[in-house]
Amino acid sequence: MSFIFLNGEFIPDDQTSIPLSDQGFLTGHGIFETIKVTHSAPQWFDQHFERLTRSAHRLGLISPDRSTVESAISRLLEKNQLIEARLRITLTGGPAPFPQRSDNPTLAITTGPLPVYPNTATVMTVPFTRNETGALSGIKSISYGENLLALQYAQERGFDEAIFANTKGHLCEGATTNIFLVIGDRLLTPNLKSGCLPGTTRCRVLKQAEHLGIPCKETEIPLPLSEVNAAFLTSSLRGIQPIRKFDGRVISTSHSVIAQLREAL
């Protein structure tokens, strides 16, 4: 039997319930964080909780108490006897008539097995755009329909990940990832003005690149790409995943920049 943490209680996962009036269920009003657990400890918890708090503020959600969340995670991992796992924190507006703000947000923490990713990935630019000026830009919202449709579109055509452009025609992000390019001797990634999520692994890669002396720039990257020596995806669960095919173009997965960053991360 496995347990989840829901609004202060540890409940068997087959006995949980959330009111149909919950704003997360009715309108997708909520946020989440996915965290990798190794050696029974959540990785980079500070960065994840900071982003959760920042996103909650933008959506007008009541942010949970950090000590409560940390204690719940520790006890949940112990109750589920997990050493390696995927952990998800979900925060919604709770049960309240739309569009009123609720004073009783729903906080759920769940666990599951770590997904297994291939060593390399294939990606395609999908015919949908990210709105870099939208209200949800840069927020890890549970309103995930757009991401799901883009990912299905790409996978139905034999690709692993969907890549979004923004409304200006610039490279933005993947459906579930951030993206980096190696062009010449430089490492490039879309800046946050592109509308991309400020990923925790993205942030770590930027810091490691600076530490290693790898020229790196957050910038606008027009699509389609003219020249790419190498590229990779990042996320909390996959770390750094080299791209072997981008929109049908085969690219190197063994570039020295990728090797250095993977070793440092």
**Confidence class for position 35, pLDDT limits 50, 70, 90:** very high
In degrees rounded to 5, what are phi and psi of residue 255? -65, 145
100 — pLDDT class (breaks 50, 70, 90): confident
pLDDT at 3: 98
Round the average pLDDT of the chain to a whole number and report it: 96
How does pLDDT run across 198-232, given as a tens digit for each residue? Answer: 999 999 999 999 999 999 999 999 999 988 999 99
pLDDT at 126: 98
Would you tell me how many other CB atoms lie within 10 Å of the CB of residue 53?
A: 15
Query: What pLDDT, on a 0 to 100 scale, did the predictor assign at position 152?
Result: 98
pTM: 0.95
206-210 long-range Cβ contacts below 8 angstroms, 24+ apart: 208/261, 208/264, 208/265, 209/261
User: Domain 3-112 is of which CATH architecture?
Assistant: 2-Layer Sandwich (3.30)
pLDDT band at 87 (very low <50, low <70, confident <90, very high): very high
CATH 3.30.470.10 domain extents, the chain: 3-112
* DSSP-assigned letters across all residues of 112-143: EPPP---SSEEEEEEEEEE-TTSTTTT--BS-
Percent of the chain whose pLDDT exceeds 70: 100
Mean pLDDT in residue range 91-104: 86
Average pLDDT over residues 44-52: 97
Q: Where does the chain show beta strands of DSSP type E?
A: 3-6, 9-12, 30-38, 41-42, 85-92, 106-112, 121-130, 161-166, 171-174, 178-183, 186-190, 216-219, 230-235, 239-246, 249-250
Model confidence at 101, in pLDDT bands (50, 70, 90)?
confident
How confident is the model at residue 1, as a pLDDT? 84
In this prediction, residue 102 carries a pLDDT of 75
* pLDDT at residue 114, rounded to an integer: 96
pLDDT at 99 over 80: no
pLDDT of 67-81, one tens digit each?
Answer: 999 999 999 999 999
pLDDT higher than threshold 80 for residue 106: yes
Cβ neighbours of residue 189 under 8 Å, at least 6 residues apart? 178, 179, 180, 181, 202, 205, 206, 216, 217, 218, 219
Which pLDDT score is estimated for 97? 82
Q: Which has the closest alpha carbon to 113: 237, 234, 240?
A: 237
| Sheet order of strands, 3-6 included | 9-12, 3-6, 106-112, 85-92, 30-38, 41-42
Q: Where in the chain is the domain with CATH 3.20.10.10?
A: 121-264
**Pairing of the two strands 249-250 and 239-246:** antiparallel
pLDDT reading at 98 higher than 80 = no
Of the pLDDT bands very low, low, confident and very high (cuts 50, 70, 90), residue 119 is very high
Domain with residues 121-264, CATH architecture: Alpha-Beta Barrel (3.20)
Query: Tens digits of per-residue pLDDT, 129-185?
Result: 999 999 999 999 999 999 999 999 999 999 999 999 999 999 999 999 999 999 988
